[in-house]
Structures are given as C-alpha cells and as structure tokens.
Amino acid sequence: MSLPLEVEIKLPTGTTYKQPTGLFINNEFVYPKQKKSFEVLSPSTEEVITSVYEALEEDVETAVQAAEAAYKTNWTWGPPEARAAVLYKLAELVDKNAELLASIETFDNGKSLQNSKGDVALTAAYFRSCAGWCDKITGNLINTGNSHFNYTQRVPMVCGQIIPWNFPLLMLSWKLGPVLATGCTTVLKSAESTPLSALYVGKLLVEAGMPKGVVNIISGFGATAGAAIASHPRIDKVAFTGSTNVGKIIMKAAAESNLKKVTLELGGKSPNVVFDDADVSKTVKHLITAIFFNTGEVCCAGSRILIQSGIYDKIIKEFKKETEKIKIGNPFDPETFMGAQASDIQFKKILKYINSGIEQGATVITGGKPVEGKGYFIKPTIFADVRPDMDIVKDEIFGPVVSVIKFDTVDEAIELANDTQYGLAAGIHTNDINKIMKVSNAIKAGTIWVNTYNDFHPMVPFGGFSASGIGREMGEEVFHEYTQVRAVRIAISNTN
C-alpha cells in the first residue's frame, strides 16, 4: 500500500496537523516516479514520525522542467510588485502558523522549542525584507559618449538549492527569499533527516499566490537528488549550505556539468576572543549563545574561545557556572535551552570527538558525557588545556563542545584566531575601540561580532572566507548571487 501524499501527525504539544509527504512540483504534492519513501525520526525520542517520498534523478528532471517553464512566464519578466505581494503574504502566513511551524521544526530536528520559535521569527522577517527588494534589483546606465546607449540588466536564473538539517526552515528562507525577489525559479532539496517543515512551506507558498513551477521542493538524499541538482546541465546556479567536504563535491559537479554559478555557505571553527577589559557577565552570556545555541549545531559557532590571561580565571569560573545551569532535555519544555542533537550519526560523531579530546590530554571543565535515557542528548562541554594539534581544536565538531585557549597579547590573539582553514565568523569582547578595530581588521572571517554573537539581521550579509565558502546570504549582496549581469550597447545614428 502506497504512502498517502498527506498524513495526519500528532505533535507532542497535542496539536494534530496534516503533513505533506509527496514531492512539491508545479504547486502540487505528487508521487515520485519510483514511489520510494524513507522514514523521518524524532531525535528527542528516537521514534519514527512519518515517512516521506524520496526524489531520484528522474524526479529532479521533472522539477527542473517545471522551473524552466515558470521562468518563461510573467513571474520572471513581469512587474516586480507581483513578486513582492507573494513574499509579503508568505511572511504573514509564516507568522500566522508560527506555533505550528516551530513545533514541526522541534519535532523533526530535536532543537528546543524556544530556538525553533526564534528561527520562525527570523524566517518571517527575512521574507519581508526580500519583499522590499523586489523593485530594487536594478542595472546601470553607462556613459560612453553620444555614439552609443549602454545599460546593464540583472538577469535571474533557474536555480538549484540544497539546504542543511540544522536550521531547516531558516535556511529555506535564506534560499527562497532571493529567488522570489529576483524572479528566479528553483528546485530546492531539503536535508533527508529534516524534510517536514520545507514540505509544509509548500502549502503556504500556494496559499501566498506563488505561480506554478516557481518553487519546487523535493525530499531526498545528497548522493542521488543532491548530485542530480549539482550536475544538472540546465540549472544555471546552485546554492548549497553544509559541510566543506560536500561543498567541494558540489563545486566540482557544477564545474564539470555546465560551469553553473555556485554559492557555498560551509563549515567553520570560529574564534571568540575575550580581552581583559570585557564585562564578565555579559561576555559569558554571549559565549553560551555562541556555542550552545541550537545544541552547537551552528556553522558559525564560537567553538574556540580565546581568553586573555588577566581575565582567564574569572571567565572560566563564570562560564562553567552558567553552563551547568543550562536546561537540557525535552525540547517542547518552554524552559529547555538545549534539545537533542539532530541525528544518531551526529550524536555519535560528537561523542567521538569528546573522547578524542580526553584521550589527547585536554581537561574537561564540565560536561563531556551524554544525558542518560532516550534521545540524542549531550551535556554542554568545555575543554581547557588544549593544544593546537588536537582534533577538538582543529576540526568542526558541530555540537555543544568548546575549547578554551589562554593568550597574553593582542597580536597573539590574532595569530591564534587565524590558525584555522576556516573563515566564517569570529567574536570580539572588549570595550576598547582600538582593539576592536585592530582585531576585526586582522581576523580572516566573513562576519565579526563585537560584544555579541550569533546576532543576525536580514540586511547584514553572511558568508565565509577560505574553506568556509563562496558568496553571501542576506543583505544586498545576495541578490548579486541570484542574477547575472547582461550589458547592452546600442549604436546611435547621429544625423544632423
């Protein structure tokens, strides 16, 4: 018996809702050609929530055809205010369904409900921000004298997008917002472990008035559906958020197919630098947000804390005390800050790194163990007495594990901060504007947070240097990533 295209799910909150399971193509939930499906687990209970249908290469082709057909319509080439209307309506629908969307995200991903509610709020805000950009995607007039009339246009594209499992809804908005604002069309693949919120957004897109084929959302695996998107010869641009290793595979596939435009938002091992004059209590709050928010499953997590020697003991003492107050457990408890890790694979990977840190001689200040019972829960973990060659210092763990390093001088802090292949983000904590300017100008990272952390705004671009990726999300910069420049030069007949 085939899985229905929509199933009724009862959330732990007691709410029952109808969850789509099919592929969202041409504004409809449809069966894949082979009708294969896969199970979706809840990380906090280790139980099956439901199954969803799996897209394979032939289903990606169907979705691309839908996106190509939509690209030729008035959606792409018509008035930008029509696109703005869809985005504004979509933002309203996200707000209207905020409680349900947050609950779906928490059930599917394992993160705390308070974290999911924050994601939903940022999602609605970003769709609204993109709506305001629809009629501002402009070209330029170029003066080369009176013999020619010259101008440039920003031309949208048929896109492929692959989002991660750590922020399923928010990353969907970061991808779909610029697509809808610029007039692009897209095929978006959700992460195989967290497909539910993306499919539910398909229903909201139809309600918001999005035309057929503009956005097509598929569930599937990276090795099949993801690879088909990255290598598709008629997709003009691919956007990927995920690990650096997979990003390299995406980039190679894009180059070997049709040299499609690529944006990659990848991993990080971000330094969080604390100077002697930092406010201890405020800084510790930011250190906790930097590493333990979203159970540490954040690409820009401040996973290397550098503390100046004069304040080191005070920060360590307060950081340990406040970390041990963090409530971890049932993600639907409003007081819970840390929910479950997103999967058994991730849970085991994090524990492997913790054991590696212990075996290599690092000191566990607090944590270092899983929480007993069902679910993929790990205690927030602080390591001290680390060395630069330790795996916990070098590698992106993607979990609630942080290494603390002592330094003496500003120049030493800069050297330690840049001792990584990554360059996604960094934090600086000081009240000295001279230190702020010197260190922020010297750290090789795409985002520098000063006296704050994990602090996002739709108008502030986000993306990395080096192994942390190519291109930018959000801000004005993202609209350049979703358009190509066409130059038009017209010869003018100068007759008297």
Active site members: 265
* Antiparallel, parallel or unpaired: β 28-30 and 23-25: antiparallel
Which residues, other chains included, contact 2 with Cβ-Cβ below 8 Å and sequence gap of 6+? 31, 35
Residues 6 or more apart whose CB falls under 8 angstroms from that of 325 comprise none
In order, the DSSP letters of 312-330 are HHHHHHHHHHHHTT--BS-
Nearest C-alpha neighbor of 299 from the set 421, 448, 424, 385: 424
Residue 165: is it exposed, middle or buried by C-beta count within 10 angstroms (0-12/13-18/19+)?
buried
User: Helix or strand or coil: residue 169?
Assistant: helix
In Å, how far from its chain's centre is CA 25? Answer: 23
C-alpha pair distances (Å), 52 with each of 7, 10, 49, 132: 10, 16, 10, 35
Residue identified by tokens 């990977």 is 349
Per DSSP bridges, beta strands 304-308 and 271-274 are parallel
CA atoms of 209 and 496, how far apart (whole Å): 52
Residue 98, φ and ψ in degrees, nearest 5: -60, -45
Provide the token pair at 124: 């609605």
| Strand, helix or coil for residue 304 | strand
- Burial class from Cβ neighbours inside 10 Å (0-12, 13-18, 19+) for residue 47 reads exposed
Cα 466 to Cα 422: distance, rounded to the nearest angstrom: 6
